[in-house]
Amino acid sequence: MNMEEKISGAIVRSYFKKLEENLAVDVAIVGAGPSGLVAARDLALKGFKVAVFESKLAPGGGTWGGGMLMNEVVVQNDGAEILHEFGITTVPVDDMYHTVDSVEMASGLIFGARKAGAVIFNAVKVEDIVIHNGVVCGVVINSNPVVHMGMHVDPIVIMTRALVDGTGHPSEIVNKAVNKAGVKIDSPTGGILGEKPMWMEDGERTTVENTKKLYPGLYASGMAANNVQGGFRMGPIFGGMFKSGRKVAKLIAEDLSR
């Protein structure tokens, strides 16, 4: 067999093995941002089968660019502790805050989630959800370039016991549940309240408080949770995102172990 055939064959077999093994998972996480990646690692370390679907080529979400493309971010002490578990270096600013190189943070979060056993499917867009008998139980996926180019190509489906909306500001998955499936979620209005403007301190606190189960099988983390419950945005401080990921992982682990 020539080298060309060998290399192509290895990629095709390896990819389809990975895809087939993940047609049904314990937890599907939509969005490989900081909250989704922390949740993915925590759940994978607990032994759950976790697949992360990220529409962009590079996972990491809003972590790469720091503040206004100055590639440093800030975390609080408890956020720094979570980063240290990933082996990511933080530099103390004072007795409360640390700076972090955003490239080290993004790559470290991705590597940590993957090394713990979570599988990341990049360039894959979740375009819809599956609901059976009042329970969210799957994601409808397509190649993101296909979606982006507007090609009329049908998707495939991944079934899951728990689904996390980690899509950040637009909360795309909860949007599908509320506006397409017409379900009432656990929020003050039963729908999506929409994110408020910048208030770092309040936004950091509510990101964690707003992380919850919204409907049977459906959870939200990070900015998606804040968008759903009407929380404030907070910009380039990330402790709340990590704690939100940790909280959603804990909620799901408890629910799936019942």
Q: How far is CA 49 from the centre of its chain?
A: 15
- Answer yes or no whether residue 212 interacts with ligand 48F by CB under 6 A: no
CB 238 within 8 A of CB 74: yes
- Answer yes or no whether residue 187 interacts with ligand 48F by CB under 6 A: no
- Answer yes or no whether residue 121 interacts with ligand 48F by CB under 6 A: no
The stretch near ligand 48F (CB under 6 A) out of 14-22, 50-58, 78-86, 128-136 is 50-58
- Answer yes or no whether residue 239 interacts with ligand 48F by CB under 6 A: no
Number of H helices, E strands in the chain: 9, 13
The stretch near ligand 48F (CB under 6 A) out of 19-27, 54-62, 92-100, 105-113 is 54-62
CB of 73 to ligand 48F, least distance (A): 8
Q: Measured between alpha carbons, how far is 175 from 8 in angstroms, rounded to an integer? A: 39
- Answer yes or no whether residue 113 interacts with ligand 48F by CB under 6 A: no
Tokens of 138: 């799957």
Contacts to ligand 48F from residues 133-172, by CB under 6 A: 166-168, 172
Of the residues 28, 234, 249, 251, which one makes contact with ligand 48F according to CB under 6 A? 234
- Which of 70, 83, 62 has its CA nearest to residue 91? 83
CB of 241 to ligand 48F, least distance (A): 5
CB of 55 to ligand 48F, least distance (A): 4
**Neighbour count for residue 170 (Cβ, 10 Å):** 15
CB 220 within 8 A of CB 252: no
The stretch near ligand 48F (CB under 6 A) out of 86-94, 184-192, 210-218, 234-242 is 234-242
CB of 88 to ligand 48F, least distance (A): 15
Cβ-based nearer residue to ligand 48F, 4 or 252? 252
- Which of 66, 70, 32 has its CA nearest to residue 51? 32
* Total number of residues that touch ligand 48F (CB under 6 A): 29
Q: Measured between alpha carbons, how far is 67 from 241 in angstroms, rounded to an integer? A: 16
Q: Measured between alpha carbons, how far is 49 from 237 in angstroms, rounded to an integer? A: 30
* E-only strand ranges, the chain: 24-30, 50-54, 72-76, 91-92, 97-101, 119-122, 124-132, 135-143, 156-165, 196-198, 212-215, 218-220, 232-233
- Answer yes or no whether residue 54 interacts with ligand 48F by CB under 6 A: yes
- Answer yes or no whether residue 208 interacts with ligand 48F by CB under 6 A: no
Q: Which residues bind ligand 48F (CB under 6 A)?
A: 30-36, 53-56, 61-63, 125-126, 166-168, 172, 222-224, 233-235, 237-238, 241
